Structure 1
Amino acid sequence: MSRFFNTAGPTIIEDHYHIDPLQRVDWEEIQVLIQQKRYFVLHAPRQTGKTSSLLAMMKELNNSGRYACAYANIEGAQAARGDETQGIPAACDAIVNAIQLHTKQPALFDWYQKHKESFSPQHRLTQTLQQWAQLSPLPTILLLDEVDALVGDTLISLLRQIRAGYAQRPSAFPQAIILCGVRDVRDYRMQQEGAEIITGGSAFNIKAASLRMGNFSYQECEALWLQHTEETGQLFEPAIFPELWADTQGQPWLVNALGHELTWHDRKARDRTYALTLEDYKAARQRLIYSRATHLDQLADKLREPRVYRLISALLNTEQSSLNLPEDDLLYVEDLGLVTTYPSVQISNKIYQEVIPRELTWSTQSTIANQEQSWYINADHSLNTHKLLKAFQQFFREHSDSWSEGFDYKEAAPQLLMQAFLQRIINGGGRISREYGLGRKRTDLLIEWPLDKQQGFYGPMQRIVIELKILRGALDTTLSKGLEQTTDYAQQVGADEAHLVIFNRDAKVAWDERIWQDESTWKEQSVSVWGA
């Protein structure tokens, strides 16, 4: 059987298309830090390839004959929460088992089984690592994964016990320890009973460096996918690769998941003589978004965290022109992989830009009653956008106040509510793309609607631009700017129709004044304007 795209767990070289895991990190710098007997942090967003790189590092270090290196995942200790009497023993059990497995040194395991109960949880990790270093004929290296899954006293105790043995390295404590997780140690926040929040930086002030593992480069994305061509002979249309980069910005799970969706879940693609087109890729992209796969579904949990909420809310509220957030919050959300900060703060990639509004409006979209796609389809199978937007005006009039209260992201409620309404109608027939971001002063929506049921997205298409703006100040000013922006976007994407929706959030204005419709022209572009 040929290799395939990996979407779950560490990379297995023999089974998966892959980029060399040691190429994913600054291996030269890591080797120097180990030689200098440093303790440091390696962090990256989930499903980026951290574990694969740690396992490759362990193999390389052990094969060198200079070190005894063990990789241990201590996520199981998370179940103990802040109870260090349960959490530290669980972490020690995992570490000792890993040392026996990876270094083939049974002496520590035998010692641990005889003596572990004689040490309190507050000293068990220090004593265990000290014993390992003294029993090992080679300097010891410990790679600890999922450290930031631990919380409270369990995490405080683990960090402080490592710090307690630091001065004994390398003869009586590991020469180097790498802590690995989603977050940098500066973002470990631990609530200890009877005390204020303790940060990881204070509990682990021996950190020499904090290395962040990045995404694939454009060239690595292309190289990874071309391994499929080399393996099977199946060709990709070259136009796919710029789209893949824009959609993922090299996020490893997304790159692999799109590859798997395109080359396997699309059954016609299992015929490897079939050359994959850009339209095949776009269809795979939509299926992945609709699937709410585990990686994408996890975004919803992060969006509820206060530190994440503050930043994402500002990005969704496109009228806001600047951020006034603590630097730590910004760095934290960047560490999670949700945003990039260069050249400006924005959602990390186009797929996350699609997924985040969908996740925030999923329950709303699912519970919008009495809206059937068939109501808005003309006899020629085109979408009746005027009928659709009139229905939205009435829906918004009836439900906006009560439904907006249900949104966590209230500042962006009108835009989110409209996207939920449109997704309810468009899903399963067409597709919606969106552009938004800090200071854009609008949200751009592009609906692509197939006009031929048989050909679907491979045939003629209806392209509709809908621009969303919030009324700020005089209507004439908002309207003038909105018409200019709508026209520019419509001409950029080659739209057949252009619509501008202006939301009036002034509760003092009667609904009969807020709801209106007009037709305008800007630079020879017809634009339908809707008040809501």
Structure 2
Amino acid sequence: MALLPCSPANAPSTTMQRFFNNAGPIKPEMHYHLPLLQRLDWEEVQQLIREQRYFVLHAPRQTGKTSTLLAMMQALNGSGDYACAYANIEGAQAARGDETQGIPAACDALVNAIDLYLNQQDLLEWYESKKQRLAPQHLLTQVLQQWAKLQGKPTILLLDEVDALVGDTLISLLRQIRAGYAQRPEYFPQSIVLCGVRDVRDYRLEQDGAQVITGGSAFNIKAESLRMGNFTEAETRSLWLQHTEATGQRFDEAIFAELWEDSRGQPWLVNALGYEVTWKNRAARDRTQPIGLIDYQTARERLIQSRATHLDQLSDKLKEPRVHSVISRILSTEEEESEGLKVDDLQYVADLGLITLSPSVRISNRIYQEVLPRELTWPTQVMIANQDTLWYIDPDHRLNMPKLLAAFQQFFREHSDSWSEGFDYKEAAPQLLMQAFLQRIINGGGRLTREYGLGRKRTDLLIEWPLDPEQGLYGPLQRVVIELKLLRGKLDAVIQTGLEQTLDYCRRVGADEAHLVIFNRNPKVSWNKKIWHKPASHEGLSIGVWGA
């Protein structure tokens, strides 16, 4: 879809100035956006439709599925060859597994959508006269047959939020679509696109709590599964530069590398960060003011702390057993924890957008990498008592890291057993407890950045603490690296490897202070032997080594 011309910065107030969209489908006249039909292989989609195929389009939440489906409908209807309707059947989710309620709810949404987009009053009248007399087990099939008969063109159905349905409602819907498949295109839609977060193979159809069937077998007429991806790095940049083109306001070039690492092109994150930095930052509403890297970093932190709906949904997903099995191993960072991972679980979590599988299994982007530990440790963090940040600040306003880490040792000794039991993610409890403790302190004005991943055998933490309270993060910073490792094997070997890794991370982030914390999880070892501290150095860098 072509971009509509945008108004100059000095346009009259009656003209809508476009902005970054962080909620709901794209409206081209209101929002900066990329050409919607370029989000997928439109040529392939058209060929599948010409071949009368039924297929699946799936992507993580808030990646632009609905916007793309609406653009597809507009293009197909505009071609004059088809009668296409988009219907969102999420409302039928309330019926759960009761198909006597769920299927009529889905059909209500479908018929209303057909009438809305195609003005097919005759189908609406037929439906109102028949729906009470048709059994739910056949109602959807009858509706789609009647639509195809009444419509003078081949019909195309774009069915959204299919995987929101569960149990018998979902089984019935898939089977009723399959039942009419052989009658296409004269007496059934020529093509149907099922859209949702997951591929149909990942639908788990349950009855009375027992799994009885999978989506793949209930919908074995599927020809393809298409997945919408994130923006590319070039597309991410292009989207943001639409703001510059529209308003004249410029971004510091250094922002774009950070934006890419933070979002990796996840569409909601790209738009939400754009909205945060160009509008929520009130000073930036003066479009003559350029937006600098510090403005961006401040907006990023504000977005994370806002616990916006999109980010809050991540916390909900972390409770799912299939997600837990993958994310817990990534957070624990140990190769041994990867044993027993199921390929289907990895693909499922990737389909949710939480991880990428190539070139290695890791959290999808830097913001998710920041948000997941915060969400998992939030209840713990707010319950940590008597942690006044001022107690750890020296007269020159530097964080006193030895005092801070000694306090953590005592905290860990007193609370690790009981608090670890409260974690759903027990595999990563030591690393998460340390992050919760530090986050509680750093929230007093600094920033905590994390790096971790499956098989890294360490968690890298970077503290950035402002040395000038008035300038905050805009001024000079104390940069401290803390490397977290689990004790596996001989202590001397673990320390030596840890020192090398700590030095490498210090060089990468430009830190001038470093500490290595080694957790001993052997319950047979007494706390008196677990808790220790000694100075060390590696290639000229002094590194504090701590046992916990």
- Using structure 2 for the length normalisation, give the TM-score: 0.96
Deviation at 1:328, TM superposition (A): 1.1
CA contact (8 A) 2:530 2:547 kept: yes
Q: Which secondary structure state, in structure 2, belongs to the residue aligned with residue 118 of structure 1?
A: coil
Deviation at 1:320, TM superposition (A): 2.2
CA contact (8 A) 2:447 2:463 kept: yes
Deviation at 1:156, TM superposition (A): 0.2
2:41 to 20, 26, 29: 26
Match of 1:122 in 2: 137
Deviation at 1:155, TM superposition (A): 0.3
2:543 to 523, 527, 531: 527
Q: Root-mean-square deviation (CA), in Å?
A: 1.0
For residues 218 and 421 of structure 2, what CA distance do their matches in structure 1 show?
Answer: 41
For residues 108 and 278 of structure 2, what CA distance do their matches in structure 1 show?
Answer: 41
The answer to whether the aligner puts 1:37 opposite 2:69 as a matched pair is: no
1:221 to 231, 236, 245: 236
CA contact (8 A) 1:517 1:529 kept: yes
Q: Which secondary structure state, in structure 1, belongs to the residue aligned with residue 269 of structure 2?
A: helix
The answer to whether the aligner puts 1:404 opposite 2:420 as a matched pair is: yes
Deviation at 1:197, TM superposition (A): 2.5
Q: Which secondary structure state, in structure 1, belongs to the residue aligned with residue 335 of structure 2?
A: coil
The answer to whether the aligner puts 1:101 opposite 2:116 as a matched pair is: yes
In structure 1, stretches of 5+ residues that fail to align are: none
Match of 2:245 in 1: 230
Q: Trace 1:92-491 onto structure 2 (pairs within 5 A).
A: 92-193=107-208, 196-321=211-336, 322-491=338-507
The answer to whether the aligner puts 1:503 opposite 2:511 as a matched pair is: no
CA contact (8 A) 1:192 1:198 kept: no
Match of 2:5 in 1: none
2:86 to 55, 59, 71: 71
Q: Structure 1: which 4+ aligned runs deviate by more than 6 Å?
A: none
CA contact (8 A) 1:131 1:172 kept: yes
For residues 115 and 512 of structure 1, what CA distance do their matches in structure 2 show?
Answer: 78
For residues 522 and 251 of structure 1, what CA distance do their matches in structure 2 show?
Answer: 39
Q: Which secondary structure state, in structure 2, belongs to the residue aligned with residue 299 of structure 1?
A: helix
Number of equivalences: 532
CA contact (8 A) 2:204 2:211 kept: no
Deviation at 1:428, TM superposition (A): 3.8
CA contact (8 A) 2:82 2:154 kept: yes
Deviation at 1:82, TM superposition (A): 0.2
For residues 307 and 404 of structure 1, what CA distance do their matches in structure 2 show?
Answer: 21
In structure 2, stretches of 5+ residues that fail to align are: 1-15
Q: Which secondary structure state, in structure 2, belongs to the residue aligned with residue 445 of structure 1?
A: strand
* Deviation readout 1:274-325 (Å, 9 max, x if unpaired): 1111111111111111111110111111111111101111111112254432
For residues 314 and 77 of structure 1, what CA distance do their matches in structure 2 show?
Answer: 35
The answer to whether the aligner puts 1:494 opposite 2:510 as a matched pair is: yes
Q: Which secondary structure state, in structure 1, belongs to the residue aligned with residue 117 of structure 2?
A: helix
For residues 48 and 22 of structure 1, what CA distance do their matches in structure 2 show?
Answer: 13
- Using structure 1 for the length normalisation, give the TM-score: 0.99
Q: Which secondary structure state, in structure 1, belongs to the residue aligned with residue 537 of structure 2?
A: strand
CA contact (8 A) 1:430 1:447 kept: yes
CA contact (8 A) 2:59 2:227 kept: yes
Deviation at 1:459, TM superposition (A): 1.1
For residues 60 and 258 of structure 1, what CA distance do their matches in structure 2 show?
Answer: 30
For residues 517 and 373 of structure 1, what CA distance do their matches in structure 2 show?
Answer: 22
Q: Which moved more, 1:128-137 or 1:320-329?
A: 320-329
